[in-house]
Structure 1
Amino acid sequence: MNILCFGDSNTFGISPVDGKRLSETERWPTLLKQLLGTGFEVIEAGEPNRTLVNNPPFMGDKSGIKYLKPYLEAHTVDVVIIQLGTNDLKARFDLTPEQISRGLNQLLLEIDNFYSNTTLPKRIIISPPKVYEVNQYQRIYAGAEIKSQQLAQHFADVTKLHRCNFLDAYSQVNPCPDEGIHLAPATQSLLAEHLVSLLTQ
């Protein structure tokens, strides 16, 4: 079974301590592979600053809706895990939770279209975890604490519409409280454990 993990810096595995990439024994996609064991292949496709449909200024081309298709073309995929939405909460985009969830809906429609003539892979949507407006992210994510809570329910509604599996990361995993955005290794491990239960049920 091939599992595509498509997301942002928390999928890539940015450390909240030093900003470097976590090791293969610490980030959730590789931990997921270890927990699942033989017969499962995990394709890591995390990219820092990736959004759902918006293109962050000064960050190059980071639109998730554009960069998902090449992965689907390059790999035979049985499961697509999507962890996006946190970067869309940045104050400079000034997006409502409803607008961000419409981006998720658009992304899922693109997946439907890509597999219109073949079997649709299992899709697991991870809602953004909590956002803490602290330190370097206080201004960048102004207003995101409240929006991230609202976004979880909007994501749940979209995934129900598309008959996807849903993991509410807002209520089940927390970012580093001192840094505010990224997941510590213990939390990455917890996320992997939640995903195993969705994949094996």
Structure 2
Amino acid sequence: MATILCYGDSLTWGSIPNGGRYPKHLRWPSMLNDLLGHHHEVINFGLPGRTTLWNDPFLEGRNGLAYLQAALETFGPVDTLILMLGTNDLKRHFNVGTYEAAKGIEKLIDKARMPNTHGFSSPNLVVVAPPNILSPMGSLAANFDGAIEKSQHFHQHYQDMAIHNKCLFLNSAGILQPSEVDGVHLDSHANKQLAHALFSLLKDKIKP
């Protein structure tokens, strides 16, 4: 049995565009578990607002780097770690771009590969470049002011960083886009597309 930990933000947690949370079976980690088989365990550890490594002055506990080691110990040993973060890094008050988000993911990779006191092996790593942001709507419009153009560069910086760090890589913008309802979050079809793309990437790399 393999343990796959999905470490992400609201796109992993299962936020419904414009509010609410999808039932478990419509979130992509659950769909991935269905595809891989339930002798494996796919853990959804998404959290709305989570960043790669920035402390959000308006949301407590959203620094991804600060909580990764605890997550790996809590759910360990973890065979595969899927990192899908960076969208929230583009919020206006952080004033950074996708290059800095990719460097944040690199710090998470380093953390995941550090020796631990339990003797757990380092997990295999999958880096998912977040989808491009469309026109943010409603309450998201001010938060993500200027983020549309920045998000176009996720693919480039994340792929370069993933190759350099010998990680599996998936460009989600190549297979899906956010819902037009709010321009950021995924509809149920996009969740399904992401689950299938990750299954194709992982199916031959996870022991039966």
Q: Which residue of 2 aligns with 1:98?
A: 99
String of CA shifts for 1:155-185, please: whole Å, max 9, x gaps.
Answer: 1011111111111012211100121110001
CA shift, 1:39, in A, is 2.3
Q: How many residues align?
A: 200
Q: Equivalent residue of 1:3, what SS?
A: strand
Any idea what SS the aligned residue of 1:139 has? helix
* Residues 1:34 and 2:30 aligned together: no
Alignment of 1:102-121 (within 5 A): 102-114=103-115, 119-121=121-123
Q: For residues 99 and 141 of structure 1, what CA distance do their matches in structure 2 show?
A: 16
Question: After superposition, where does 1:1-201 map in structure 2 within 5 Å?
Answer: 1-17=2-18, 19-74=19-74, 75-114=76-115, 119-136=121-138, 137-201=140-204
**What percentage of aligned pairs have identical amino acids?**
35
Question: Distance in 1 between the 2:141 and 2:202 partners?
Answer: 35
Which consecutive unaligned segments of at least 5 residues does structure 2 have? Answer: none
Q: TM-score, with normalisation over the residues of structure 2? A: 0.91
Query: Which range moves more in the overlay, 58-67 or 34-43?
Result: 34-43
Q: What SS class does the counterpart of residue 92 from structure 1 fall into? A: helix
RMSD: 1.5
Task: Say which SS state the counterpart of residue 44 (structure 1) adopts.
Answer: strand
Q: Contact 2:114/2:122 (CA < 8 Å) preserved in 1?
A: no
Aligned counterparts of 1:127 and 1:114: Cα–Cα separation in 2 = 26
Please identify runs of 4+ aligned residues in structure 1 that moved more than 6 A. none
**TM superposition shift of 1:133:** 2.6
CA distance in 2, matches of 1:187, 1:96: 24
Rounded to whole Å, the distance in 2 between the matches of 1:150 and 1:115 is 34
